[in-house]
Amino acid sequence: MNSTEQEFLKFYMEQTWEEMRHLENLRERVSAIIITLATAITGFIIQQKFTSETRPLMWFIILLGIFGLLMTLKIFQIHQKSQKRLDKWYSYLETNSGDNPQILILRNLADVENKREFRIVSKIPHNYFWSTIFVFIIIAGTYLLFQKPTADVKETSPTSSTTIIIKNDKKLDTIYHKVDSLINKK
């Protein structure tokens, strides 16, 4: 390998590392925005007591979760592509450096030591943690979607100006109808 090729390879490796850092920052920022939005919208829906007017927001939470999940997976895919490129370049650089270079040997030794210290956690790819957050957002949005409205409903008797507040409850609905029939008899 000539010096120009070696300089170019080192430059390209530095650029790839920089791109990988940008990808991680992008993933973190997108995740923070989606988590913040989903939390705020969920709080609003709960505060509004799951009214039918909040159903589009429930769907929006699900879509946010799906978007976050797909974004995380795509960023991980791009990150892994860059990592595979780096691995090949390291190997090429080491092979063509002469004088028994130890770049890959030392990196692999450090990886083995790390896996030994963190046996369980090291088996889980880091993108699973981020993906799980978005799966929980999708589940939360789905859960909200299937909640029945609990807001108070105001009803006015047609023959009277009496307003009775009824919760969505069959017992109270029966009481309302009994009171209404008594009012109508008079």
- Sorted by where each begins, the domain ranges of the chain are 3-150, 152-186
pTM (whole model) above 0.85: no
Q: What is the pLDDT of residue 161?
A: 47
Category of 105 on φ-ψ map: left (φ > 0), alpha (ψ -120 to 50) or beta: alpha
Q: What is the pLDDT of residue 26?
A: 96
Angstrom distance (rounded) from CA 13 to CA 80: 14
What pairs with residue 155 in β-bridges?
A: 164
Category of 99 on φ-ψ map: left (φ > 0), alpha (ψ -120 to 50) or beta: left
> 101-146, pLDDT tens digit by residue?
787 788 889 999 999 999 999 999 888 999 999 999 999 999 999 9
- Mean model confidence pLDDT for the chain: 85
Q: What is the pLDDT of residue 62?
A: 97
Query: What is the helix (H) or strand (E) element at residue 156, kind and residue range?
Result: strand 153-156
Angstrom distance (rounded) from CA 92 to CA 98: 11
> 31-84, pLDDT tens digit by residue?
999 999 999 999 999 999 989 899 999 999 999 999 999 999 999 999 999 999
> 141-178, pLDDT tens digit by residue?
999 999 988 745 454 545 544 454 545 555 556 665 66
56 or 98, which is more confident: 56
pLDDT band at 95 (very low <50, low <70, confident <90, very high): confident
